[in-house]
Amino acid sequence: MSSEQEWPPLPPFSTGARGRCPRCGQGHLFNGFLALRSHCEVCGLDHSYADPADGPAFFVICFASIPTVILALWIEVKFEAPYWVHLVTTLPFLLLTCVPPLRPLKGWLVASQYVYKAEEARFVAAPPTHPSAAPPADKISRST
């Protein structure tokens, strides 16, 4: 397909959560569970712009840790359970609340980077300011 083709804007949540290309909505975004493809096989979009870093893991940890800790505390207070009970109950609950949301969240973040044209911040030094010939305003008001 030609690179000059106009692509309609697609919502980043629906395309990213399904693991689809943020430009065409048809190609696959992932090559495996969490590895990004180098480009879309349908429209040819280069995915080198995408850098979600630790964002998906951070969001999953923040949201999954609260119910998991509440479950573990409830089991401990209610039943005074030994450690093996926590391994059998809390650990699977933790894995079930952490692993499945990683891929949709990563897809959503990558699609959002494309849609909103997010890029690395570039700080440019401000041009040097030259002192003006006029005195500052507070000195003018004092002299009058």
Confidence category of residue 120, pLDDT binned at 50, 70, 90: confident
pLDDT attached to residue 5:
80
Question: Does residue 75 belong to any structural domain of this protein?
Answer: yes
Q: How confident is the model at residue 30 (pLDDT cuts 50, 70, 90)?
A: very high
Task: Give domain status of residue 6, yes or no.
Answer: no
Output the pTM of the full model.
0.76
Domain count, the chain: 1
95-108: pLDDT as tens digits: 999 999 999 999 99
H or E element in which residue 96 lies: helix 83-98
Q: For residue 104, tell me if it sits in a domain.
A: yes
User: In this structure, are residues 89 and 83 in contact, taking their beta carbons and an 8 Å threshold?
Assistant: no
Q: Residue 107 belongs to what domain range?
A: 12-120
**In this structure, is residue 127 part of a structural domain?**
no
Q: What is the pLDDT of residue 78?
A: 97
Is residue 34 in a domain? yes
CB 65 within 8 A of CB 110: no
More confident of the two residues 108 and 126: 108
Determine which of 13-27, 92-106, 126-140 has the lowest per-residue pLDDT on average.
Answer: 126-140
Instruction: Give the chain's mean pLDDT.
Output: 88
139 belongs to a structural domain: no
**Cβ atoms 41, 60 nearer than 8 A:** no
Question: What secondary structure letter does DSSP report for 49?
Answer: G
